[in-house]
Amino acid sequence: MQIKRKLEFPLWKIPYFLIKSFLVFNKIIRTGILALLIENKYFNKQIELILKILNFIFGNNNQKEIGKKLSNVLINLGPGYIKLGQALSTRPDILGKKTCDELKILQGKLKPFSNSISRKIIQNENKKFLQESLAFFNDNPIASASVAQIHTGILKNGEKVAIKILKPKIHKELFRDFTFFYWITKFLEFCIPTIKRLKLPKNVEVLSEVSLNELDLTLEASAADELAENFKDHLNYRVPKIYWQFTTKNMLVLEFIDGIRIDDLDSLKASKHNVKKLTEIGTEVFFLQVFRDGFFHGDMHPGNILIDKEGALVPIDFGIMGRLSNNDRQFLALLLSYLLNKNYKKVVEIHDEANMLGKEISHDHLSQAIRAISTPILNKPIGEVSLAKLLGQILNLSKKFNIEVQPQFTLLQKNMLMAEGTTRQINPNINMWELSRPLIHKWITDTHDPFKVLEEWYHKNKIALLKIPEIIKKIDEILSKK
């Protein structure tokens, strides 16, 4: 509710937003992106026709260096748009490998701010850090992304650290972009009332809240700490050490990881890492985060995942994290399991049990519609199957079948797209969802085990149960007085 109030805009801003939306739309289309989408035939015929019309009126058929042109436009538009580009850079199935490679500049190679500003920010956060705690500080940043940049240093005890500092005025710029995105969704709802069930404004609220949490680096440190605790016994996935004594809202100091990006196949092979094993580890970790813990890394583009010398996966950015309740996890596990087994009637049933369907909806018709969109996707070669895309298509049925879209799955679906895109880049012959199938099935079985359900209930209500004898004693005293 608090983020919603912040995103709401005064009426006098509407003419400004209208003009801005036209200018933004025009800039993006003129990169030639629509011609590329049409050529790759990713969308259905109706959407493809709309894209052709828009491209004819506004577009540019010059497909040379579309990724570079789009990157430049998104960088100039602001940090919110850069995040959009980061997500697109993991989707070669939509934009093609060449364009995605050109978009990778958005994952950590943006133009940094000056050394003097970096030192000033660090000085403001901790006056003694540069002089008394560091033996060396590298003025040249090793990465510069949408909201922060990273320098390296060496502590006086010899430990190498990464120092992440927020960009100046980033809070104001990011909030400006999300306010505009919120207005666009409201405007679309006004123009097309039938899309209200998609809850687009709510989706922007969720993404805004998650992204704006990136701007408090103590929250990022806390997220890293929780993730590390969850995976403390996992040999192939580790989280960098956080130096809490130096960390503030605007500066995060953590262990420096000397590793290789997960999508740098040439370097991985040269270092004799097993790419197939890395894919399997990544799939297992994704499953454990989403289903076992309900706490997952929400920004899994390749720039945020390194492979260390021992072959372990190391995440290096914890600004965007997602959570799912136990009910959400059970719904998702059943949904993925039924889709993989092509049991479309069960897919409809769980939507109904979750109160996501109107009473007037024909279950048979919805089941048939889900089969129609699922079959072409699930019958593709194993390396091309995209459950994230399939879930998106199922959500697109919401208009016709009055499906209540759940905003809590917005970040997860985005992360699924990134995870699939990254997996496909490093190992096109492996389907992460086929690898997940036995894990999902076991999790469903375990969570429905009556003894485990009873055990979980006992732990949740242990404190209340311990008070029962005391309550009985008080009742007995009251009754004896009568």
- C-alpha span between 453 and 447 (Å, rounded): 7
Which H or E element spans position 103? helix 97-103
- C-alpha span between 363 and 357 (Å, rounded): 9
Identity of residue 149:
Q
Q: Does the active-site annotation cover 299?
A: yes
- C-alpha span between 335 and 403 (Å, rounded): 14
Q: What are phi and psi of 242, to 5 degrees?
A: -100, 130
CB atoms within 10 A of CB 455: 11
Helices (H) and strands (E) in the chain, counts: 24, 10
Place of tokens 């917005």: 410
- C-alpha span between 105 and 74 (Å, rounded): 11
Question: Is 446 within 8 Å of 425 (Cβ atoms)?
Answer: no
Among 266, 299, 352, 446, the active-site one is 299
**Nearest Cα residue to 336 out of 431, 428, 402:** 431
What is the 3 state secondary structure string of 61-100? CCCCCHHHHHHHHHHHHCHHHHHHHHHHCCCHHHHCHHHH
Q: Annotated catalytic sites, by residue?
A: 299
